[in-house]
Amino acid sequence: MVLPTTTMTSFTQYFTGPARDFLVRAVDLALEEDGPDLTAKAVFVRGDRLTARIVAKEDTLVAGLPIADIVLERMGILSVTQCDYRAADGQRVAPGAVVALFTGPAVGLLKAERVILNFLCHLSGIANLTARYVAALSGSRTRLLDTRKTLPGLRYPEKYAVLMGGGCNHRRDLAEMLMLKDNHIDRAGGIPQAVAAVRRAFPDSRPPLEVECRTLEEVRQAVTEAPERIMLDNMTPDQMREALALIPSSIETELSGGVTLDALPALGALGADFISVGRITHSAPYADFSMQLAQVE
């Protein structure tokens, strides 16, 4: 058995069940934060309509564009808005490209503008940074993983954006897989004791197990316990190389801890299954999109 690793998928495939519930709640919160658009209500009258174009202002991947439908639906104006999507998530577009065109109620589109752009710019930025990290691993067998270092409430959309950049998802919540980290291992008295505790707690069936190792001796202990994956945490490249030689191919391997873009080619050459990087979600810059609006006569 290997650990579940979510790879490239479509928006509708990804956002089902809890993933969609969390996304809808994030959209609702964003709309609530903005409150009513009193300025637009003062200037526009009922029946006024606008055409809104979302335009890329830089070379960028697209991620999160279908969230616009959810925003408009939660506002109650999707049924009276014409939506023309001219780009798809995961697609790279050039500066000046129109990725979507909406025609609908003026006050509604003005309120939706910033919420739609905030999601689109943030998620596309994550996709862009992820793509750079994936490119740095080109030619190796190693796949890029994200982490749980995500903004509260945005875990699912941010991890979806990683997929649009060509990366893979690590566990999306604490129940998706078991991970014995330093605090668990220290409390249990060592790796054998920690693994035994997990197996006692889940005797019949359990999620896959990953064990975090800080030293070569811990790697040796973990190998004896045969978890599904072993993580090498904050080791030097030489230590990683030696540790990987100790782990049989039946156990997946993951490198983690302070991984930089410049270091990725050399780390990929070590031959681990995965490298996990928190920076692709917690430090990604916004992609630059704008919404251009014009009144419909």
Spatial distance between the Cα atoms of 189 and 183, rounded to a whole number of angstroms: 10
**Any idea which residues carry the catalytic annotation?**
114, 149, 181, 212, 233
Q: Strand 49-56's sheet: what is its strand order?
A: 82-85, 98-105, 49-56, 289-295
**Which residues, at least 6 apart from 285, have a Cβ–Cβ distance to it below 8 Å?**
125, 128, 129
CA nearest to 261, candidates 137, 122, 90, 167: 137
Do 142 and 266 contact (CB within 8 A), yes or no?
no
DSSP 181-240: -HHHHHHHTSHHHHHHHHHHHSSS----EEEEESSHHHHHHHHHH--SEEEEES--HHHH
